[in-house]
Amino acid sequence: MSDPTLVKVKPKFLSGDRADLPAEAKALGHHGTAVVEFVIDTDGTVTSATIRTSTGSPILDEAALTKARIARFTPARDSSGNAIPLKFVTGYEFYQSKSNVPGGGLVDYTCDAFTREMDWWDAQHPDRTKKDGRDQLETMLVGFRLMFQPGGAFAGGVEGVRKKSAEHDVAWAAVRKECRTNPADLFIDHFDLTETLIRLSKLAAVQRN
């Protein structure tokens, strides 16, 4: 395998960079990012693919590997322009709260989907105080509240962080309760940061395209 320090041109996806969320996983509330390690040959084909970081869902991990094994790349090249085999790592995302279409994702995220995903996440991560205790959506929303809302972390220092964290905990508990009793509603209609959710939905679409 080639020394990564010799790589002048990194490989790029030609196909297989995304995997669809399987219907079975969607119904169970499974979600997350499967980090996959590829070995890419000199012709851009994948000779092996393994899970480096699991989603916690065998269904999602297998969906990621299935797509990874048939992916195609432009080959990595050294400083002389020669194609070289290389290990490559990337993540396959499986989230109903994200979309490639601006205005989709969080804007269309249903309370039913939210409740199923959070219930599954809680079963996988019972201690929310740990570093990985919050799922991707909650972590993102806490970050936006701290950084961009009036009176946030930058405005109030340590006390600002505590205040905004407490505000989040109240809002998060409320939306979980309301969504559980109103599964046909949209998540955006029950969470307090409506404008932030719209911004995040558009941002996620841009990043995924």
Residue 47 lies in a domain: yes
Nearest to 179 by CA among 108, 109, 111, 97: 111
Quote the tokens at residue 13.
């996806």
Number of domains in the chain: 2
Same domain, 110 and 67: no
Residue 85 lies in a domain: yes
What pLDDT sits at residue 153? Answer: 53
Same domain, 114 and 90: no
Task: Kindly tell me the number of DSSP H helices and DSSP E strands found in the chain.
Answer: 6, 8
Which parts of the chain sit beneath pLDDT 70? 1-5, 100-104, 148-156, 204-209
Quote the tokens at residue 168.
């989040």
| Beta pairing, strands 7-9 & 46-53 | unpaired
pTM of this structure: 0.85
Residue 100 lies in a domain: no
Rama region for 19: left / alpha / beta (φ>0; ψ in -120 to 50; rest):
beta
Same domain, 113 and 77: no
Same domain, 36 and 114: no
Residue 147, domain extent? 105-208
What pLDDT sits at residue 117? Answer: 97
What pLDDT sits at residue 5? Answer: 62
Residue 34 near residue 94 (C-beta atoms within 8 A)? yes
Q: Letter for the amino acid at 177? A: K
Q: What are the backbone dihedrals phi and psi of residue 59, each rounded to the nearest 5 degrees, phi first?
A: -65, -45
d(CA 127, CA 29): 18
Same domain, 74 and 33: yes
Of 64, 94, 124, which marks where a domain is finished? 94
What pLDDT sits at residue 172? Answer: 94
Nearest to 92 by CA among 130, 57, 142, 48: 57
d(CA 201, CA 160): 26
Same domain, 80 and 110: no
Same domain, 131 and 182: yes
What pLDDT sits at residue 29? Answer: 97
Of 46, 68, 94, which marks where a domain is finished? 94
Same domain, 191 and 128: yes
What pLDDT sits at residue 76? Answer: 93
Residue 99 lies in a domain: no
Length of the chain, in residues: 209
Residue 37 near residue 49 (C-beta atoms within 8 A)? yes
What pLDDT sits at residue 128? Answer: 74
Of 45, 60, 94, which marks where a domain is finished? 94
Scanning the chain, the segments in alpha helix (DSSP H) are 23-28, 58-69, 111-124, 136-148, 153-181, 194-208
What pLDDT sits at residue 207? Answer: 62
d(CA 64, CA 92): 6
CATH number of the CATH domain containing 12: 3.30.2420.10
Same domain, 69 and 29: yes
Quote the tokens at residue 193.
């940061």
Same domain, 22 and 62: yes
Quote the tokens at residue 206.
């841009």
Same domain, 78 and 160: no
- Tell the residue number behind the tokens 């996988």, with chain if given: 124
Per-residue pLDDT tens over the stretch 49-83: 999 999 999 999 999 999 999 999 999 999 899 99
Same domain, 162 and 183: yes
